[in-house]
Structure 1
Amino acid sequence: MTNAEYTHLTLLVDRSGSMGSVQTDAQGGINELLAKQFALPGKLTVTLVEFDTEIDTVVRMSTEPVTYLLEPRGMTRLLDAAGIEIKRTGADLASIDEAERPGRVLFVVVTDGQENSSSEYRFEQVRALVEEQISAYQWVFQFIGADDAAWQGESMGMKTAKYRPSGKGTRNAYKSIDDSMMAFRADPSPMAAFSMPDDIPEDDD
């Protein structure tokens, strides 16, 4: 039996060069999301990973918010980042005694572009990893892609949402993650579901 009051979030974010036009909003949205989630009741750990041509861990299994600095560069190594991090997060959680493992695991991917530089994983390989974690451990996978990049999530077997790649749209994408996580964590029912809109509006106003 796992710990029902413990949620783990792995957040995999795009750092490629195209993020330069929304750097401040993406950075601010991530920092606001983490600060708000750590302020809620219940145990939370966060793994934050950024990717471009390279894949870098910002924090792993952190128990407190981090101040994230986004420095856009490189290309979009999406599939490798997803495949590698699913395995790493799985290994992290497997190292915890079962009674202390998180009862809920969220794996969220945010990208404004399309895969263009992976060499280790293909869509079907990532999909197999996703399906394995859902079947065995009930992980929740959410892919959030800008406009026509959103189809990639479906190809990986993830729930998919689309957002507008403007400054406002990017910040609102992270606000939508926060709202959905807040509702998910507040519902103690074993049947609680993490739910995001299929199409995230550019602005709530």
Structure 2
Amino acid sequence: IDIECKFTLVKFNNRINQVINNLDLKEVKPLTVEDYRPDRTTALYDALGETISQLSDQKNVLMVIVTDGHENASQEYNHQEVTEMLDEKQKKNNWSYVYLCNDLKTSSQGESLGLTNSGFASNCIQPQSCFKSYLCKDVNMAIKNYRTKGISVQSQLNSV
């Protein structure tokens, strides 16, 4: 299946850094373990709020949220605002979400954002030493299968 896909990569810690913006997926180099480097604090709500606002008019977005820590640094957006934004985009623009984390405390944050029914992968709680490799191999394959075969990302990750 040849589907037009665009790719945006936003990295965040206490700052939001848009690394790639709306690039054709065919032009994106594969992400490696070096692309996943935990650093400093976690401004998750700001990263989500800014990214959703930027992509606001887009339809059929698959947003993969990867975090190694609990929200602790956002200045612009709060939990309620982000939860409402995620829900609105899912209902009105057919957005899908996958929330990936590496510990139980952080997994409850995904649930509190309402992401359990829209793609929370329950076995993504990986030891820190395995998390980067897991992201590069299993998640990349799951997203490829989602885009080409329509197989849900969470069902693939939960069977790994």
TM-score class normalised by the smaller sequence: 0.7 to 0.9
Looking at secondary structure, tell me which structure has more strand per residue.
1
Which structure has the greater CA radius of gyration?
Answer: 1
Task: Write the mapping of 1:26-175 to structure 2, written as runs, cut at 5 A.
Answer: 41-63=2-24, 64-66=27-29, 70=35, 72-91=38-57, 93=58, 104-148=60-104, 149-158=106-115, 159-161=119-121, 162-175=124-137
Q: C-alpha separation between the residues in 2 aligned to 1:144 and 1:194?
A: 14
Q: C-alpha separation between the residues in 1 aligned to 2:55 and 2:127?
A: 28
Higher relative contact order (CA 8 A, sep 6+): 1
Count of residue pairs the alignment pairs up: 149
Change (3 A) 1:160 1:198: farther
Unaligned runs of 5+ in 2: none
Q: CA RMSD in A?
A: 2.6
Change (3 A) 1:49 1:155: same
When normalised by structure 1's length, the TM-score is 0.63
Change (3 A) 1:154 1:198: farther
CA contact (8 A) 1:172 1:200 kept: no
Unaligned runs of 5+ in 1: 6-40, 94-101
When normalised by structure 2's length, the TM-score is 0.79
Identity among equivalent pairs (%): 26
Shift of 1:176: 2.4
CA contact (8 A) 2:102 2:128 kept: no
Q: Secondary structure at the match of 1:150?
A: helix
